[in-house]
């Protein structure tokens, strides 16, 4: 990448934040690098590699599960804690990222911050009601992931701030989940991503969280669709109704690979498949 | 900036630019095993092992690899003394143009280092980050399973 004049690999958070503070507006954060490495030129002159800050962890902390910002998809896939958590939706989402090679590089923080339409983790994290921890030299704040995504992470995260972890409430543990993606070929970017989490009492859905990604951007929850499911028996009739509602006011992003109608059909089918999977 | 990279077990002091990408550094310094093809992390031809994990060297900043163990296909075997994986790839006819093979061998090595008795599905999963436009994948899968047998001493 042309333009970079200095490279730093701090080993403590304090030092990294100090550096970021000193060079704010002129520093790029390097985590997995799978996006940055593709850029041929940059206006930034300082590159701060944050992979040695000790943020590669998945742990329980009080009422939450905390995932460090530089945790990789491969770590999520191999995590016994996450395999059991909410039907393993995060493991499923992580296993859809890129290829087996890029899953050894990508980081959770980068996946959330870069927020490409096809990023796989944000939709699953939305369903789990995740929050994001941000640190700067003089402040620490925790914001809802949805707020971060809607505010565009590149603007929402201040120039001297670092995403340090993703926080998932343990109350999401018993959600019945399903995670579906559709792409034209196995290694193409996804055209639609759908994450569903239902809290079920026998066949009655007490609450629902449904997140759609790739077809819309940023990925987001569908509250009007979720409402239809609340306190209802998950019947095939209801599933049809939910799928129709989901595509009612959908504002698709531009995508030259396929037609709008095709993507609408795909979203509808993914919702049906996801809900049917939970019903069975 | 001056860095020391550990490539195939040897420490190498190199002068690099802070924005350099590992595949370029490797190839500029005589390690022609990792191949540049897509340059976007899609094809796997540039695969190396970083601390034993297969990764795309076209997506890694050289300076990030300092302090890590870098392994390229040059570390596997020689023409006169090939690694069982290299031998079996040749015997099974898994190599045609050969461009994707150095990367594929590294992913296969990472798999066999962890698991010397992989199932066909495990081999498929391990090689799934590699595109081959000549042979298809059947012979390469067979070659990895056959190399595993040799490494275990079954054959």
Mean pLDDT on A115-134: 96
Is residue B142 within 8 A of residue B92, CB to CB? The reply is yes
The whole-chain average pLDDT of chain A stands at 96
Size of interface A-B (CB pairs under 8 A): 85
In this complex, do B60 and A105 lie within 8 Å of one another by their Cβ atoms?
yes
Q: What pLDDT is attached to residue B155?
A: 62
Residue A156 CB-density burial (10 A; 0-12 exposed, 13-18 middle, 19+ buried): middle
Phi, then psi, of A220 in degrees rounded to 5:
-150, 160
Decide if pLDDT at A156 tops 70. yes
The edge-to-edge listing of strands for the beta sheet with A46-49 is: A6-8, A46-49, A27-30
**Using N-to-C axis directions, what is the helix angle for B138-152 and B101-114, rounded to 10°?**
40
Phi, then psi, of A69 in degrees rounded to 5:
-65, -30
Mean pLDDT on A20-47: 94
DSSP per residue over A81-117, as a string? HHHHGGGGHHHHHHTTSS-TTGGGT--HHHHHHH--T
Whether A251 has its CB under 8 Å from any CB of chain B: the answer is no
pTM exceeds 0.90: yes
Phi, then psi, of A49 in degrees rounded to 5:
-85, 120
pLDDT digits (tens, 9 = 90+) for B122-149: 999 999 999 999 988 999 999 999 999 9
Q: Which of B1, B50, B129 comes nearest A99 by C-beta? A: B129
Interface of A with B in 85-114 (CB under 8 A): 98-102, 104-105
Q: What pLDDT is attached to residue A125?
A: 98
Interface of B with A in 92-151 (CB under 8 A): 107, 125-126, 128-129, 131
Q: How far apart are the C-alpha atoms of A121 and A94, rounded to whole Å?
A: 6
Decide if pLDDT at A132 tops 70. yes
Residue of B nearest to A189 (CA): B42
**Each residue of A23-43: b (16+ CB within 10 Å) or e?**
beeebbbbbbbbbbbeeeeee
Q: How far off is chain A from B128, nearest CA to CA, in Å?
A: 7
Is residue A195 within 8 A of residue A130, CB to CB? The reply is no
Q: How far apart are the C-alpha atoms of B73 and B115, rounded to whole Å?
A: 19
Whether A81 has its CB under 8 Å from any CB of chain B: the answer is no
Whether A38 has its CB under 8 Å from any CB of chain B: the answer is yes
Please give the average pLDDT of every successive group of 10 residues along chain B, which has 155 residues: 97 97 98 95 96 97 97 96 97 95 98 97 97 92 97 83
Whether A7 has its CB under 8 Å from any CB of chain B: the answer is yes
Q: What pLDDT is attached to residue B151?
A: 95
Which letter does DSSP use for residue B80 in this model? Answer: S
In this complex, do B60 and A33 lie within 8 Å of one another by their Cβ atoms?
yes
Q: Binning pLDDT at 50, 70 and 90, where does residue A185 land? A: confident
Residue of A nearest to B131 (CA): A187
């Amino acid at each position: 990448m042309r333009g970079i004049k200095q490279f730093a690999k701090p080993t403590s958070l304090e030092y990294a934040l100090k550096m970021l503070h000193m060079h704010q507006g002129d520093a790029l954060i390097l985590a997995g690098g799978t996006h940055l490495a593709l850029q041929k030129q940059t206006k930034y002159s300082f590159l701060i590699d944050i992979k040695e800050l000790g943020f590669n962890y998945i742990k329980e902390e009080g009422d939450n599960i905390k995932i460090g910002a530089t945790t990789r998809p491969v770590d999520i896939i191999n995590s016994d804690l996450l395999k059991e958590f909410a039907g393993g939706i995060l493991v499923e989402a992580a296993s859809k990222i890129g290829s087996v090679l890029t899953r050894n590089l990508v980081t959770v923080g980068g996946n959330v911050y870069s927020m490409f339409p096809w990023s796989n983790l944000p939709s699953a994290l939305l369903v789990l009601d995740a929050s994001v921890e941000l640190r700067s030299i003089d402040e620490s704040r925790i914001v809802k992931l949805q707020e971060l995504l809607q505010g565009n992470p590149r603007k929402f995260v201040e120039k001297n701030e670092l995403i340090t972890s993703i926080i998932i409430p343990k109350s999401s543990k018993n959600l019945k989940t399903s995670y579906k993606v559709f792409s034209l070929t196995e290694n193409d970017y996804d055209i639609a991503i759908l994450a569903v989490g239902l809290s079920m009492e026998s066949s009655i859905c007490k609450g629902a969280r449904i997140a759609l990604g790739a077809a819309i951007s940023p990925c987001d929850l569908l509250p009007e669709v979720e409402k239809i499911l609340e306190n209802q028996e998950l019947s095939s009739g209801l599933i049809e109704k939910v799928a129709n509602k989901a595509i009612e006011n959908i504002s698709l992003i531009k995508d030259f690979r396929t037609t709008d109608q095709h993507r609408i059909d795909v979203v509808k089918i993914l919702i049906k498949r996801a809900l049917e999977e939970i019903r069975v | 900036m001056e860095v020391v990279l550990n490539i195939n077990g040897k420490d190498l002091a190199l002068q690099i630019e802070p924005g350099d990408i590992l595949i370029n550094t490797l190839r500029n310094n005589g390690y022609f095993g990792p191949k540049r093809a897509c340059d976007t992390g899609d094809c796997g031809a540039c695969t190396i092992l970083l601390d034993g994990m297969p990764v795309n060297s076209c997506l890694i900043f050289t300076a990030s690899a300092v302090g890590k163990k870098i392994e390229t296909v040059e570390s596997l075997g020689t023409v006169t003394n090939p690694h069982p994986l290299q031998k079996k790839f040749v015997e099974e006819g898994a190599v045609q143009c050969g461009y994707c093979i150095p990367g594929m061998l590294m992913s296969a090595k990472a798999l066999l280092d962890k698991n010397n008795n992989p199932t066909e599905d495990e081999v498929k999963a391990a090689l799934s980050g590699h595109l081959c436009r000549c042979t298809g994948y059947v012979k390469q899968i067979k070659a990895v399973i056959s190399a595993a047998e040799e490494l275990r001493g079954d054959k």
